[in-house]
Every structure is written in structure tokens, then in C-alpha cells.
């Protein structure tokens, strides 16, 4: 890019020494255009970027980021709301990609203000500060920060988002009792015709749904019903992130599987005869991938 600028400047200086009626060489125009209109990176380039760690890339075989975002129809010039981005696995793909294409990423993170316990609230505030510091780097563009909880305000300005995305979070909101609020907030944030993309651990229909989803698994029909009740139209389901080897009946719920590979329950108690290698062999969880649309 610096070379192109030098070429453009040198050529313009030469042109200034010639008679006024002499047009600038075509090469000067081409060089100047090249400086002003750098192409947006492709989604594949964002996924392959050095902004992602080797550990993150190792999970691509399970999380399929290119196919998943293409299925949801995300474009690099979209305004995208990522709800509860956590450690930033998808943020490291979305932020630079959207920045390069003129899009906008809104990270709707944890809502520290909604947490009553002072110690837990302080830990959450620290995590949020670290997240914001990481993504203040210009390589990620300018990220807008909002929050989501049972008591939070809008995800973004009403009717301005092209896409709202959530990855493996529905079970958390079921546990907190505010799943319906998520779908209502997403609906309000989206433009008419905007897309809601959901990826979640899938509970087989033959197994009973725990209303709190303590295993981390959720019925696909339950998610569809919640979205429909909020006003969304169901568009399509994909098996991009399916794993037929996952039976969803593990001793420590979905956290028994990679990447967590839990070996004790929430109280720290082990299970007699537990074999972690069995769960490593299964791989990451079976996941539904659902696309909804806000009616035009």
C-alpha cells in the first residue's frame, strides 16, 4: 500500500510539470483508485487469520464457522449483533471481517449491573473490561458494546440490525428464566427481513426437556416455538453442526464432552468408573443450527 502511494505521488508531481492540457496518465488514476478501494477480506480469509489462535482453529471442524455464517446469510457490510460472545471465539472472525467490509459488530455481553452478588459482579466487570481492551485494537475495527440479561435494555437501536446471532447460549437463559426476553429483544433489534441465527446443543426428542436445561441440551422444537411466539418466521434448519455420536446423556451434561471435558459434577464429585477417553472420542456436542427471519 505504501508503494502504491509513492507511485501515485511521484506520478502526480511529474504531471504538474507538463502543460495543463496534458491528461494525467491512466496509471496514475489506477494507482490512486487502488489506494482508496482496498477490497474487503473474504470470510475464509477471516477464519484463516492470524488474529485467531491455533486452539481456536482446531475447533473449526466442530463449529464450522464459514458454513455456519454463510447459512445464516451474513454479509461483510451487515450490522451484526453477537449476543454473549464469551471469550470471543466468533468475535475474532466477525470483527475483522465486518470491519473490512464496512459492516458493524455489536457485542451484547454479560450484564454486570444485573448481578446482585458483589463478588460475582466484580468478576464479571473484570471480564468485560478485559474483553473491551482486547477488541480496542484497530485490527478488529470499532465494536459497539451493549449487554443482555433479564433486566437489560435494547441489544442495539431498534430496527437497525441485519443479523442477530447466538451460539450455545439458550440453555443459559433457560436456567435464568429469561429465554423469552432474548427472542423479544432480538426481534426488536432486527430490521424487517433481518435474520436471527441460533446454534445450540440439541436434546433428542425422545428425552425429556428439563425447563432449566441443566444438562446444557435443548429440544429443537422448543427453540422454534419460542422464536415463533416472538413473531419470527422459521426459515430453515441445517445439519452443519450435527454430531450423531453425541447421545446427550452424559454424567456431567454437555460439559462432559470437549472442549470442557469435565470429570466431576458441579459439587466436585467424581463418578465411579468414569472414562474421559470415551467422551474425547465422541467429540463436541450435537448442535441444532436454525435460521429465523423477522417478517418484512
pTM: 0.86
- Residue 96 near residue 105, CB atoms below 8 Å: no
Indicate if the pLDDT at residue 95 is higher than 60: yes
- Per-residue model confidence (pLDDT) at position 40: 85
- Residue 171 near residue 200, CB atoms below 8 Å: yes
| Farthest-apart Cα atoms in the chain, separation | 91
- Residue 174 near residue 211, CB atoms below 8 Å: yes
Give tens-digit pLDDT for 232-246: 999 999 999 999 999
Q: Give the Cα separation of 263 and 269 in Å (integer).
A: 8
- Residue 182 near residue 198, CB atoms below 8 Å: no
Indicate if the pLDDT at residue 1 is higher than 70: no
Cis peptide before 208 (omega within 30 of 0): no
Confidence class for position 11, pLDDT limits 50, 70, 90: very low
Q: Which residues contact 210 (CB under 8 A, 6 or more apart)?
A: none
> What Cα–Cα distance (Å) separates residue 211 from each residue in 98, 206, 239, 248, 287?
36, 15, 24, 16, 18
Indicate if the pLDDT at residue 158 is higher than 60: yes
Question: Average pLDDT of the chain?
Answer: 90
Better-scored residue on pLDDT, 40 or 30: 40
Residue with cell 477490497: 39
Q: How many residues appear in the chain?
A: 296
C-alpha cell at 48: 484463516
Which alpha helices (DSSP H) does the chain contain, by range?
2-16, 26-36, 43-48, 54-58, 60-63, 65-72, 91-101, 118-134, 170-176, 179-189, 220-229, 276-282
- Per-residue model confidence (pLDDT) at position 5: 36
Q: Give the Cα separation of 218 and 208 in Å (integer).
A: 10
Q: What is the mean pLDDT of residues 72-97?
A: 98
Confidence class for position 259, pLDDT limits 50, 70, 90: very high
C-alpha cell at 8: 501515485
Q: Around Cβ 102, how many Cβ atoms within 10 Å? A: 11
Residues β-bridged to residue 291 = 197, 236
Confidence class for position 6, pLDDT limits 50, 70, 90: very low
Beta strands 190-203 and 287-293, pairing class: antiparallel
Q: Give the Cα separation of 13 and 17 in Å (integer).
A: 7
> What Cα–Cα distance (Å) separates residue 91 from each residue in 124, 196, 215, 238, 261?
18, 17, 26, 22, 23
Give tens-digit pLDDT for 185-228: 999 999 999 999 999 999 999 999 999 999 999 999 999 999 99
> What Cα–Cα distance (Å) separates residue 209 from each residue in 197, 215, 257?
22, 9, 19
Amino acid at each position: 500500500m505504501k508503494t502504491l502511494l509513492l507511485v501515485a505521488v511521484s506520478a502526480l508531481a511529474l504531471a504538474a510539470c507538463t502543460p495543463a492540457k496534458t491528461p494525467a496518465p491512466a496509471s496514475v488514476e489506477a494507482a490512486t483508485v487502488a489506494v482508496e478501494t482496498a477490497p474487503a477480506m473474504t470470510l475464509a480469509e477471516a477464519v484463516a487469520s492470524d488474529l485467531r489462535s491455533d486452539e481456536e482453529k482446531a475447533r473449526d471442524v466442530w463449529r464450522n464457522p464459514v458454513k455456519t455464517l454463510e447459512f445464516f446469510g451474513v454479509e461483510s457490510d451487515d450490522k451484526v449483533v453477537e449476543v454473549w460472545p464469551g471469550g470471543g471465539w466468533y468475535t475474532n472472525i466477525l470483527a475483522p471481517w465486518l470491519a473490512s467490509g464496512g459492516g458493524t459488530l455489536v457485542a451484547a455481553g454479560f450484564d454486570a449491573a444485573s448481578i446482585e452478588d458483589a463478588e460475582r459482579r466484580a468478576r464479571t466487570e473484570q471480564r468485560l473490561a478485559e474483553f473491551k481492551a482486547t477488541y480496542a485494537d484497530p485490527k478488529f475495527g470499532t465494536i459497539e458494546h451493549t449487554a443482555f440479561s433479564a433486566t437489560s435494555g435494547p441489544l442495539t437501536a431498534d430496527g437497525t440490525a441485519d443479523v442477530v446471532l447466538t451460539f450455545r447460549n439458550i440453555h443459559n437463559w433457560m436456567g435464568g428464566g429469561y429465554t423469552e426476553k432474548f427472542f423479544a429483544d432480538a426481534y426488536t433489534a432486527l430490521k424487517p427481513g433481518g435474520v436471527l441465527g441460533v446454534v445450540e446443543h440439541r436434546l433428542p426428542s425422545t428425552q425429556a426437556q428439563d425447563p432449566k436445561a441443566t444438562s446444557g441440551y435443548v429440544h429443537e422444537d422448543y427453540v422454534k416455538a419460542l422464536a415463533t411466539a416472538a413473531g419470527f418466521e422459521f426459515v430453515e434448519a441445517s445439519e452443519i453442526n450435527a454430531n450423531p455420536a453425541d447421545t446427550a446423556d452424559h454424567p456431567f451434561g454437555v460439559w462432559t464432552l470437549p472442549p470442557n471435558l469435565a470429570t466431576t459434577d458441579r459439587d466436585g464429585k467424581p463418578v465411579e468408573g468414569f472414562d474421559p477417553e470415551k467422551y474425547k472420542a465422541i467429540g463436541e456436542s450435537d448442535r441444532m443450527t436454525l435460521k429465523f427471519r423477522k417478517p418484512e
